[in-house]
Amino acid sequence: MKIAWSNFSLDFSKKTYIMGILNVTPDSFSGDGLSDKSLSIKKAFKMIEDGADIIDIGGESTRPGSEPVSSEEEIRRAIPVIEALAKDIKAPISIDTYKAEVARRALDAGASIVNDISGLRFDPEMPKVVSEYKVPVVLMHIKGNPKTMQKEPVYEALIPEIMDYLRISIRLALKFGIAEDKIIIDPGIGFGKTFDHNLEIISRLHEFTLLEKPILIGPSRKAFIGKILNGAPASERLEGTAAAVAISIFNGANIIRVHDVKEMRKVAKVADAIKRESIN
């Protein structure tokens, strides 16, 4: 299974890829948001040095309870950083947005992946933009929206319902001409999920391989890890994130979206070696 576009190619038979999180927001749940362009650029270069394969840039916090920001504000935050990085880095840049206009501006600025938390559902123009630019897209599952998603989410059958949502998003993508080999899926850890839901998703992640698409997962510093670790704040969830990452890889994840790139690169290398029974 491969994802190929422009000058980049991801071959999932060889390794798990690391997506480094670059939040250019003042209100990130993890406390790592940056509103200074120079600091954001410096952090991106550090993540690449530490082993990031992809840099995922987001200009709007989608933490539980967050208020949406305008497209204009999201563009103001993210596009200057993308423009600066695209000139100097070889790693692909992903734009973390559910807004079509933000995605378009980011792709024009040098981004080459769209990471949509809504699975193409929140903005009817988004499938058209992704199709027009012929770039890979991450289709994530979410129940509700960031403001309401953690208000007692209920499922009759967790994994089948998430898979059905993703199947519909995949069909939507194909309907608009997005190529089969440019679709990545994400079950959406923490996006309309309870503590038990998150654990079940990671434990049963292998079931999502039935959709025959690369799987991205983002457990990094999430609240469920803090709960397991007796209320540890986001800044103290490194080891818990490592455990979730290793298990996710063993259960079928192809891309891991993380804050702590250097440490998770090492975790992924060991997990890959065990899973593949070899060291590359």
DSSP per position, the chain: -EEEETTEEEETTT--EEEEEEE-SS--TTS-----HHHHHHHHHHHHHTT-SEEEEESS---TTPPP--HHHHHHHHHHHHHHHHTT--S-EEEE-S-HHHHHHHHHHT--EEEETTTT-S-TTHHHHHHHHT--EEEE--SS-TTTTTSS---SSHHHHHHHHHHHHHHHHHHTT--GGGEEEE--TTSS--HHHHHHHHHTGGGGGGG-S-BEE--TT-HHHHHHTTS--GGG-HHHHHHHHHHHHHTT-SEEEES-HHHHHHHHHHHHHHHHTS--
What domains lie within the chain, and their CATH numbers?
2-276 (3.20.20.20)
Mean pLDDT for 175-198 is 96
pLDDT (tens digit per residue) in 22-55? 999 875 544 454 567 888 899 999 999 999 999 9
pLDDT over 50 at 253, yes or no: yes
| Confidence category of residue 81, pLDDT binned at 50, 70, 90 | very high
> What's the CA gap between 95 and 108, in Å, rounded?
11
Q: pLDDT of 189-230, one tens digit each? A: 999 999 999 999 999 999 999 999 999 999 999 999 999 999
Residue 57, pLDDT above cutoff 90: yes
Instruction: Write down the pLDDT at residue 150.
Output: 75
Question: Look-up: residue for tokens 């923490």?
Answer: 190
Whether the predicted model's global pTM rises above the 0.85 cut: yes
Half-sphere exposure of 275 (CA within 13 A, CB side): 22
Q: How confident is the model at residue 13 (pLDDT cuts 50, 70, 90)?
A: confident
Give residue 31's pLDDT: 46
Q: Which residues are catalytic?
A: 222, 257
Percentage of the chain modeled with pLDDT above 70: 92
Identify the weakest region by mean pLDDT among 67-71, 160-164, 201-205, 232-236.
67-71
Distance CA 109, CA 276 (A): 37
- Mean predicted lDDT score pLDDT of the chain: 91
What pLDDT is attached to residue 153? 86
Can you give the pLDDT at residue 278? 64
